[in-house]
Amino acid sequence: MTTWNESGTRRVDRDITAEANALPAKYFTDREVFEAEKDDVFGQYWVYAGHANCIDTPGELFTRTIGDRQLIVLRDHDGEIRAFDNVCAHRGSKLVDDTPMTDPIDAKRIRCPYHLWTFGLDGDLESTPKSFEDARMNPDLDDDEVTGFDAAENALNAVHVDRIGPLVFVNLSEDPMPLAEQAGAMKDRLERLPLGEYQHARRIVSEVECNWKVFSSNYSECDHCQANHQDWIEGISLDESELEVNEYHWVLHYTHAQDVDDEMRIHDEHEAQFHYLWPNMTVNMYGTADGYGTYVIDPIDVDRFQLIADYYFEDPDLSAEEREFIRTSRQLQEEDFELVERQWEGLNTGAIAQAQLGPNEHTVHRFHRLAQEAYNI
C-alpha cells in the first residue's frame, strides 16, 4: 500500500507481498542519508574501480573517486594491481591529478608536487629532498638529531584490491568480506568468459538529475520495458526472460530473437544477460554483438549521479555491428534517463512517503533491502 504520510512509513519487509515493500522516499531525497552512504555503502562494500587491460604495463595508473576518497589504481613492477589513497604521507597533498581509466598515466614512481616526496609503485617512501635529511635551517636542532623517515611507516595508504577476471574492485573498509562472497554466482559466471581478451573501445559519460538509487532501481527491473523500450524489445522475448536474485547480485536473463556468434554467451546460445552487482556496477551482454559493456552508477550529490558506460570488443576499431550495439545501448540509457528524472521529480515533491513494488520487481526489493541493511535501520 502506498503511504502518503511520512508518519506511516515502515521498514522494508522481507516479504515482497507485504504492504511495506519499498524503501521510504526520504532515503532517496535526504542529504544526511546521502552523506552517510559514503561510509555505510561505498566505504564498506567492494566497488568497481576499472578494467585491468587499461593498465597493462607496469607503472600505468589511473585515479578513481569513491565517496570522498580519491584513489590511485596502478600496476606495479611485478604486474600486480594495487590501489592507494591519492594523498601524500607528508602533509596530505593530493598526489596525482584526476586521470580516467581510458587515458592512464605512465609513471615509474609517484612524486608529490608539493615537497617532492617520492613513492614507489609498492607505495613505500623512496626518497625525500635534502631539506628533510638535515636541520640546516633549524637552529634548535643538530643534524645528528634528524632520524629520517622510515620507508614503510611513511608509505601511501593501501586499500584492498581484488578482481573478477580483468574487472578490478576496491574496498575501503579495514576488514572487508571477500569479493567472492559479495559477487557470488556472478564471479564464477564471468570468470568462465574470455573478458580479458576484449579491449576497451568506447566510453560515454552522462550526468543525470536524480538520486543514484532511483536509476539503480530502474535498471534492476524490466516491467517498464514494454512501454518505454519498444525498439529494443522487438528483438527479444520478454515472456521467456527471467529475473534471478542472489544476495548482492541479480541478473536479467533474456532470449534474443537473432542468434549472434558471440563468445560472451554463458549457457544458452540465444541468451544474453544484464548483471547488477551491489552497490553500483553492472555488466551487460546485449546479445546483438560479440562484446560487453559495464556501467558505473556514481553518485555526485543527493540529486545527481554520473553514469560511466564502457564498451569492450575484440578490436577497439569498431565494426558497423559494434557501433549499432553501442547506439542501441545509448538509446536505452537515454530512454531510462527520462524515466528516472520523471520519478525523481515526483519523489522530490514530498507528496509520497513510501511507494510500493509489484511482484516481479523482486530485484528492486532486494536492492532496497540492501540499502536498508547498510543504513542499519
Is the separation of the CB atoms in 15 and 366 below 8 Å? no
Q: What is the pLDDT of residue 336?
A: 93
At residue 105 the predicted structure's pLDDT band, cuts being 50, 70 and 90, is: very high
Q: Which sign, positive or negative, has the C-alpha torsion 215, 224, 15, 28?
A: positive
Residue reference for cell 535526504: 30
Q: Is the peptide bond before 104 cis (omega within 30 degrees of 0)?
A: no
28 CB neighbour count, 10 Å cutoff: 23
Nearest partner of 305 among 42, 52, 114, judged by Cα: 42
Which of 137-146, 175-184, 192-201, 278-287 is least confident? 137-146
Name the pTM for this structure: 0.93
Q: Give 309-331 pLDDT, tens digit per residue.
A: 999 999 999 999 899 889 988 99
Rounded Cα distance, 240 and 52, in Å: 35
Q: What is the pLDDT of residue 306?
A: 98
Cβ burial, residue 234 (10 Å; 0-12/13-18/19+): exposed
Beta strands 60-66 and 105-106 are antiparallel
* Ordered strands of the 110-111 beta sheet: 110-111, 118-119, 125-127
pLDDT surpasses 60 at 72 = yes
pLDDT surpasses 60 at 238 = no
Q: Helix and strand tally (H, E) in the chain?
A: 9, 17
Q: Give 165-181 pLDDT, tens digit per residue.
A: 999 999 999 999 999 99
| Torsions phi, psi for 246 (to 5 deg) | -115, -175
Q: What is the pLDDT of residue 300?
A: 98
pLDDT surpasses 60 at 90 = yes
One-letter amino acid at 336 equals D
Q: Give 156-166 pLDDT, tens digit per residue.
A: 999 999 999 99
Q: What is the pLDDT of residue 239?
A: 59
